[in-house]
Each structure stands twice: as structure tokens, then as C-alpha cells.
Amino acid sequence: MSPEFPLSTIAIPLPLFCLSFQGTILDANLLAQEDMGRSLRRLQQKDIYALFGPRDSISALLTRVEQGEQISDSGIFRCDDHAPYTIHAGPNAEGCVLVLVPETRRSEAQQLEQRYAMAEAVARIALELAHEVKNPLAALRGATQWMAERVDHPVVAETSERMLHEVDRIRSRIDDFLQLAPRADISMGAVSVHRLVMDVCRPVPESVKLSLVLDLSLPEIPAHESRLRQAMENLWQNALESGATWIEVQTRLAVATALPHYHGPILQISFQSNGEPIPVHLRQRLFEPFVTSKASGSGLGLAIVQRVALEHGGRVRLQADDAGARFVMHLPMRAPTHIS
């Protein structure tokens, strides 16, 4: 018996099962198979009660779905490790469809939503800075330059030189910050990600071993080349500055991944390194402006990476432990229907 439609066609980044009303598994998407650590062949015809409990709650849920209800239950757990889940269930032609939301995934989704809200707030501030700060700063620099050229006095010359240096330093920091602002011109063209990787990851320091794991069969993607290059340069530089002796850059097709407002193939680009571990208390905040684990640096590099990902309808995530860090960027391989 097969479900009404193949679960592999459903673009949902969560484990999903199709069951009979008796609790027999008929089908499971790739994420469900990965989550359970079992192939579809090993899951089919298995009893859902062997995987999740409590039995009474799931049995009552299936009974209500059989009567045509769509319901949710947050009191479900895995039988092997008692990890908590929320189940969303509804009827289909063959029985019941279950969508499982791991509590860790719920927390991750909330964190991503908060991060993106922060990114938009910072973008608005950066745009305001362009109008409120850069013009007066240019006027101040012009006046200082004029004074230095017309007053022949060593103290004035020294003071003017120091003022020009500080004005240029402030302007440079503002220019960096403005990279977080929304872009009016984010015109897309066909871009070879692999060519960008080859360009960005050069030169390689003698102390670093670079491993390139690239799927060269993947086509060009729609992207703003200079902005995507900037994001990759920031990820490469971040790995180098972490003191890494080994860096791996990987490209592949992200099969079990979904992006908001987009249905189509997704490219995964990852930068993994064995550098200095990122402190645990910073891992959830590392994409915020001015947050950094390094003694020096502006703390804007990863925030710019996030902005670029959003501009392209994608996202970026951090996977970190004591062995190092892995930054994973997902990008649409076709023109997205929505750009942040």
C-alpha cells in the first residue's frame, strides 16, 4: 500500500510519516529516515508505537484523525532516548500523516527567527547612518584638509594629519557597517560558485592544509557575484583568523533541506576548520554585529555573511564544538520568489 503522494515531493524540512490508522508506517520522508537512523525499507510496516510514546496518546491521536480531525500533541517522546517531540497530524487518503517537530528544531527555528529580526533592525540602522553620518563626516574631512593646506604651522599640520587619520578610520568603520544595509541593486546573474571558491581560497598559508570537496557537476546559480564573493571571503578569513591548520570547503546538493518561499534545488556551501573553539556563550550570537570571539576584528564579517545569504533568499548556520567550527550556507539554485 502506498500513500496518496510520495513524501519525497513534500518540501518540508521536518520528519514526516504516513501511517495507517492502526499505527503501521506506510512511508517516511528522508528527514524521518535520517532522524530514526533507518532506511525506508526498515521503517515500512513497522509499528509507530515501537518508535514513539506514550502509546495511549498516539492511539487517541490516530482515532481522532480517523474521524477527520487535524490535531497537535506536544507530549510525545522517542522510545529509545525519550527526546521530546511535538506531533502535528491530519488525515490523507491512505490514513494519517504525521509531522514531527523535535524540540531542538523548534528552538533552532525560534533562534533563526530572532536572528533575522535582528539583522533587519541592524540593516535599517545602517541605512540611517548613510544619511545621518557620512555627509557630515565628509564635510569635516574637507574642512580639515582645507585647513591643513592653508595654515603653515607645524602644530596645525600635525593636528590636521591626526584628524584626517581618525576621520578616515571612522569612515572605514561606517563603510563596513553599511555592508549590512539592504541593497537597492541586488541584480542577479549566473555565477560559478566553484570559480569563486578557487579565487577566494588563495593564497593558502603554508601552515594550513586546504581540502576542496566540490561537486563540479553542479551548475551556476543566480547570484550577485561581488556580494557572494564578499561572503565567501569573510568565511575564508574567519577560518584563517581562528588559527586553523586544516580547512575544508565543500559544495553539494542539499537534498533534505528547504528554504522559505522557495521550491527547487538548493546548493550547500560549507567552510569547516579546526581552529580555536568558539566559546559556547557566543555560538548563538555570532551572526550579530560586533559579536566576535577574536581579540581583534570588527565583529561584522559574519553579520555580513548573513545579510548576503538573506539577499539571495538563503540562510547561513553555525555548527560548532570543541574540535572547531563549520559554517553552512544554503542558497537557491534557481531564481527565488522572495528576496529579503
**pLDDT (0 to 100) of residue 292:** 77
> Does 337 fall in a domain?
no
d(CA 332, CA 143): 48
Residue with more model confidence, 25 or 105:
25
Q: For residues 150-174, give the mean pLDDT.
A: 80
> Does 1 fall in a domain?
no
Contact between 58 and 49 (Cβ < 8 Å): yes
Whether residue 87 sits in one domain with residue 169:
no
Handedness of CA 137, 142, 143, 147 (dihedral sign): positive
Whether residue 94 sits in one domain with residue 24:
yes
Residue that has been written with the C-alpha cell 520568489 in this structure? 337
pTM (2 decimals)?
0.57
Q: Which residue type does 176 have?
A: D
User: Residues 41-65: pLDDT tens digits?
Assistant: 889 989 999 999 899 989 998 999 9
End position of a domain, from candidates 120, 155, 178: 178
pLDDT band at residue 33 under the 50/70/90 scheme: confident
Contact between 312 and 243 (Cβ < 8 Å): no
Whether residue 114 sits in one domain with residue 68:
no
Q: Phi and psi dihedrals of 106, rounded to 5?
A: -60, -45
User: Residues 306-329: pLDDT tens digits?
Assistant: 888 988 889 899 988 888 999 999
Structural domain including 245 reads: 189-332
CA distances from 68 to 63, 96, 97, 254 (A): 9, 10, 12, 35
C-alpha 37: how far from chain center? 24
pLDDT band at residue 166 under the 50/70/90 scheme: confident
**pLDDT (0 to 100) of residue 4:** 42
Q: For residues 214-243, give the mean pLDDT.
A: 93
Residue 327, domain CATH: 3.30.565.10
> Does 183 fall in a domain?
no
C-alpha 229: how far from chain center? 16
User: Residues 108-131: pLDDT tens digits?
Assistant: 555 556 666 666 666 666 666 666
